[in-house]
Amino acid sequence: MKVVKFGGSSLADGPQFEKVISIMKTDPERQVIITSAPGKRHDGDIKVTDLLIKYAELTIKHADTSDVFNQIFSRYQAIGDYFNLDEDALAPIWQALSELPTTDYPDDDYLLAAFKAHGERLNARLMATVMTHLGLKARFVDPKEAGIIVSDEPNNATVLPETYQHLSHVDVDDSILVFPGFFGFTPEGQIATFSRGGSDITGAIVARGLKADLYENFTDVDAIYAANPKLVAHPLAIHRMTYREMRELSYAGFSVFHDEAIIPAIQGEIPINVKNTNRPNLPGTLIVPEKDFKPAQTITGVASSTRFAALYLHRYLLNKEVGFTLKLLQVFKKYNVSYEHMPSGIDDLTVIFDKTQFDEDTVHNMCHDIQEALDPDTLEWIDDYAIIMVVGEGMRNQVGVIEQIIQPLAQHDIGVHMINQGASRISIMLGTRRADAGEAVKSIYNAFFSSEPA
Ligand SMILES: Nc1ncnc2c1ncn2[C@@H]1O[C@H](COP(=O)(O)OP(=O)(O)O)[C@@H](O)[C@H]1O
Ligand SMILES: N[C@@H](CC(=O)OP(=O)(O)O)C(=O)O
């Protein structure tokens, strides 16, 4: 049995719905579909999730929501019209959208989560309705009914383990089961969403819970490429890669697949096949356990992300001071921030953060507390920070890889602030200025792929 997730670009309008239904029909093993909310139909379009965020914000401000309400409803209506659904079929969508502002929520964060989740919830309902209208046996499955239970972090939830027990009781009969992606319910019964792009996570959870043989993830590119196609023209497609390669690359910028979605797939040992909705006969990229993989080349991919910031601390004899890092971590705890990496030297330490968790005041106050608690000679907050991640199972047993990475950067006059190699030795992380990130990816990509076969 296959669990099949379609991204927002694959469900953006009626013609895309038609392609998706045809993909589901061509393989009887495709028994479960996970839907995203309608995405962008063209450059400059707005995703329904972003419209719902606006709807939530206007509701919180008690401002007029009629324009945005109509924009959202018209996205679903256009899909219904494409399949000649009658008005009654769209009425539940209109009603659910209308009821969002008058429902009770514990606070505004939960309000936002519930609004956002309806992008996928209503799209899954619509998909089940369209499939039934076309004569297929299909059934909408709400995460509440299926028992997808998540932590009580309304807009950044993680799945709780009891979910898998609940999913094992879902009856996979001869109907196509249509699950909405992106959200679950807290133990208290509130809607909470995963982080943005999180429908991939639902797909992986459902694939693990239902013990699928394959998790197919359909998007708008032919494969996962060795570099982001927006940075490198015509990059090579990756035919096969490991879970941990994918996790590192998606963490560092390959937005095509959510990094947290790898974890349920690893736990259930379910291979993932990323494919193109617009060219479904192409093989796409297969993501597999390490035991099923033999590296054919040194690196598999190179990614970059600009969502980071760094804190640089310098003080002589840091290496001799007991408790320095402990004091630092206590300040982080006080401000409820997590850190990503902490490379250090004898007299200095850099801490790299995901900066999406900060506002300006937190940065200011936290740095002030660190200065007081640790009295460093230098304390510098580096907002202009990007991470470049070079990843490949093939790097493990090779010497000279670092030189091959650094040389093209030096040739392009790109300064490297930090180098960090994970213990698994399948990735090397570099810190650069944000403006250099794109050029760094291009030059590393060219150094490895212009001479190596795909
Ligand atoms: N290395 C990569 N390979 C393929 N696509 C990538 C890569 N890095 C970033 N992307 C981007 O990811 C996009 C697909 O992800 P996303 O927009 O989340 O799709 P969906 O709407 O299907 O969820 C592609 O259109 C591409 O621009
Ligand atoms: N619709 C949600 C979740 C998601 O996964 O979307 P997409 O499949 O379009 O990346 C978002 O925009 O974040």
Cα 119–chain centre separation: 17
Q: Considering only CA atoms, which of 428, 418, 342 is closest in space to residue 390?
A: 428
* Ligand 1 pocket, CB under 6 A: 7-10, 36, 39, 197, 219-221, 224-225, 227-230, 254-256
Taking the C-alpha atoms of residue 59 and residue 111, their distance in angstroms, rounded to an integer, is: 9
Specify the residue with its C-alpha closest to ligand 1, atom 20.
7
Q: Which residues contact 110 (CB under 8 A, 6 or more apart)?
A: 154, 190, 191, 192
Q: Where are the beta strands (DSSP E) in 207-281?
A: 214-219, 224-225, 237-238, 240-242, 272-276
CA distance 88 to 393: 54
Residues sharing a CB contact under 8 Å with residue 241, sequence separation 6 or more, in sequence order: 224, 285, 286, 287, 288, 293, 300, 301
Q: How far apart are CA 337 and CA 243, in angstroms?
A: 27
Mutate to test the pocket of ligand 1, among 46, 120, 219 (most ligand atoms within 8 A of CB): 219
Residues 60-78: tens digit of each pLDDT:
999 999 999 999 999 999 9
Amino acid at 14: G
Q: Which pLDDT belongs to residue 451?
A: 59
Question: Do 426 and 391 form a contact (C-beta atoms < 8 A)?
Answer: yes
CA of 219 to the centre of ligand 1 (A): 7
Which protein residues touch ligand 2 with a CB less than 6 Å away? 7-8, 36-37, 39, 47, 49, 119, 181-182, 196-200
| ipTM of the complex, rounded to two decimals | 0.97
Q: Report the C-alpha dihedral over residues 349, 352, 358, 359, rounded to 10 degrees.
A: 60
CB of 247 within 8 A of CB of 225?
A: no
Neighbours of 183 (CB within 10 A): 28
User: Which stretches of the chain drop beneath a pLDDT of 50?
Assistant: 452-454
DSSP-assigned letter for residue 144:
H
- CA 220 to chain CA centroid, Å, is 15
Q: How far apart are the first and last CA of the chain?
A: 31
Q: What local confidence, expressed as pLDDT, does residue 452 receive?
A: 45
Tell me, what's the pLDDT at 425?
87
CA 167 vs CA 128, 145, 160, 330: distances in Å: 19, 10, 12, 39
Question: Helix, strand or coil for residue 15?
Answer: helix
pLDDT computed for residue 422 by the predictor:
78
**Dihedral of the CA atoms 244, 249, 255, 257 (nearest 10)?**
-20
Mutate to test the pocket of ligand 2, among 46, 156, 193, 199 (most ligand atoms within 8 A of CB): 199
Per-residue pLDDT, 30? 98
| Amino acid letter, residue 161 | P
Helix/strand/coil for 270: coil
The alpha carbon of 204 and the centre of ligand 1 are apart by a number of angstroms equal to 17
Collapsing DSSP to helix, strand or coil, 276 comes out as: strand
Integer-rounded Cα Rg, in Å, for the chain is 23
* 274/296 Cα distance (integer angstroms): 20
Cβ-contact 304, 441 below 8 angstroms: yes
Residue range 345-376, pLDDT digits in tens: 889 999 999 998 898 899 999 999 999 999 99
How far is the centre of ligand 1, averaged over its atoms, from the C-alpha of 56 (Å)? 27
Residue 185 neighbours by CB under 8 Å, 6+ apart: 143, 144, 148, 149, 150, 191, 192
pLDDT given for residue 450 in this prediction: 81
218 bridge partner residues = 6, 275
- Atom 4 of ligand 1 has which residue's CA nearest to it? 224
**Coil vs helix vs strand at 121:** helix
* C-alpha–C-alpha distance, residues 452 and 430, integer Å: 22
Q: How many residues belong to the chain?
A: 454
Ligand 2 midpoint to CA 330 (Å): 35
